[in-house]
Structure 1
Amino acid sequence: MVDETSDFFGVGKNKINPEKGKVLIAEPFLEGRYFKRSLVLLVECNQNGAVGFVLNKPINLTIDEVLINIAHFEGEVFIGGPVDTNRIYFLHTIPDLIPDSIHIFENLYWGGDFVILKNLIEQKVVRPDQVRFFAGYSGWSIGQLSDEINENSWLVSQLGVQEIMNCNNERLWAQSLRRMGGRYKMWSNFPENPGMN
């Protein structure tokens, strides 16, 4: 009989492969400003590496407070990751309105013509639940993400498009783990600083 407590914080039998459209859930002890208790949507994942956006780290500013020459829009900006943080990236569900979008899965897309998006915002054609903005992105070089998963830094899971477009707070990390049940539900209750428990 296997003692589950012997590897309580190991990812264990989770065998979902990291691929475009999947979500990485940080294990409880993963540290750092960007990845501590984070969920990261993978928008690209292949033999050359991986690219993703942290979904649950809002910076409490709207896009028109971050960029000049864009109309007021209630769409909040999130920290996408530690790479290229001086640039804005976006996810959306309106590929018919934004040319050059990259398909992720189902009705979820990455990027496209930002000038057209700015015009759509000015014309009040798009809603905040259709577009998500990120400052920077998360990136992994060849083999790096696989190594981190093997070291139990990440659990691979998935969320629906609506959840991805509407998740807007740091509680999403715990909520996602509770939904998975078992040891992962217990992970969600583990204090950020065990010494303070």
Structure 2
Amino acid sequence: MLSPLEPSSGKLLISEPFLNDPNFRRSVVLIAEYSELGTLGFVLNHKSNLLLSDLLPDLEHADFPVYFGGPVATDTVHFIHRCYDKMNDGEEIAPGIYWGGNFETLSILLKNNSVSPEEVKFFVGYSGWGEDQLADEIRENTWIVSDQYHADVVFSDNEEEVWREVIINLGPKYAHLSNFPQNPNLN
């Protein structure tokens, strides 16, 4: 049996298969910041129809996909990366995965085609929980907390596969959930 994990920076929140909230349906959230005051994270597998160049016209050739990080502050852009060697900045939230950093440096790297979508992921908005809110949702079985993942999953652009892979990585107790249809009524 998988022992329940406490949420913390760098862990994943995996939505239960039948969560009806459209903001979090079959979502995988990377926790970027966790404290007793609240939690901030980014939905890794809800891609928007936008490219970074749509949001930031100065980066006209930055054809990086943009993801919906969550329903909070959707007028903001955030990023995670795994190219600290190029950026020399960012807060490490999991081994080799960094949140934020100097955007001017990143802009130069983008303009020079020195980074790829496999190294940097962009989000509009973020997911946020107030004090005790996430703990309550975990007790209600809305979320499964996991630290069983590879960095490649975080930077994957295959939305459905991200959710399936992290579910399977939880072990046999949860693996069967990965085959549940999104809408069981359509079976």
- Fold shared, TM-score > 0.5 on shorter chain: yes
1:127 aligned residue: 116
Give the % identical residues. Answer: 40
Specify the SS of the correspondent of 1:176: helix
| Aligned partner letter, 1:188 | S
Q: Using structure 1 for the length normalisation, give the TM-score.
A: 0.86
Q: Unaligned stretches of 5+ in structure 1?
A: 1-11
1:9 aligned residue: none
Which of 22, 34, 38 aligns to 1:49? It is 38
* 1:130 shift after superposition: 1.2
State whether residues 71 and 121 of structure 1, in contact with CA within 8 Å, keep that contact through their aligned partners in structure 2: no
Bigger CA radius of gyration: 1
2:178 aligned residue: 188
Spell out, residue by residue over 1:8-33, the C-alpha distance to the aligned partner (whole angstroms, 9 max, x if none). xxxx8541211110001100121222
**How many residues end up aligned between the 2 structures?**
186
1:65 aligned residue: 54
* 1:125 shift after superposition: 1.8
2:65 aligned residue: 76
State whether residues 156 and 162 of structure 2, in contact with CA within 8 Å, keep that contact through their aligned partners in structure 1: no
Q: Unaligned stretches of 5+ in structure 2?
A: none
Q: Which runs of 4+ in 1 moved over 4 A?
A: none
Which of 160, 165, 183 aligns to 1:170? It is 160
Q: Distance in 1 between matches of 2:141 and 2:165?
A: 19
Specify the SS of the correspondent of 1:192: coil
Q: Residues 110-125 of structure 1 correspond to what in structure 2 (within 5 A)?
A: 110-125=99-114
Q: Distance in 2 between matches of 1:179 and 1:125?
A: 32
Q: Which 10-residue stretch deviates more, 156-165 or 132-141?
A: 156-165
1:108 aligned residue: 97
Specify the SS of the correspondent of 1:184: helix
Q: Distance in 2 between matches of 1:160 and 1:179?
A: 10
Specify the SS of the correspondent of 2:121: strand
RMSD (Å) for aligned C-alpha atoms: 1.8
* 1:93 shift after superposition: 1.5
Specify the SS of the correspondent of 1:166: coil
* 1:95 shift after superposition: 2.5
Q: Distance in 1 between matches of 2:55 and 2:70?
A: 16
Q: Which 10-residue stretch deviates more, 162-171 or 149-158?
A: 162-171
2:15 aligned residue: 26
Q: Using structure 2 for the length normalisation, give the TM-score.
A: 0.90
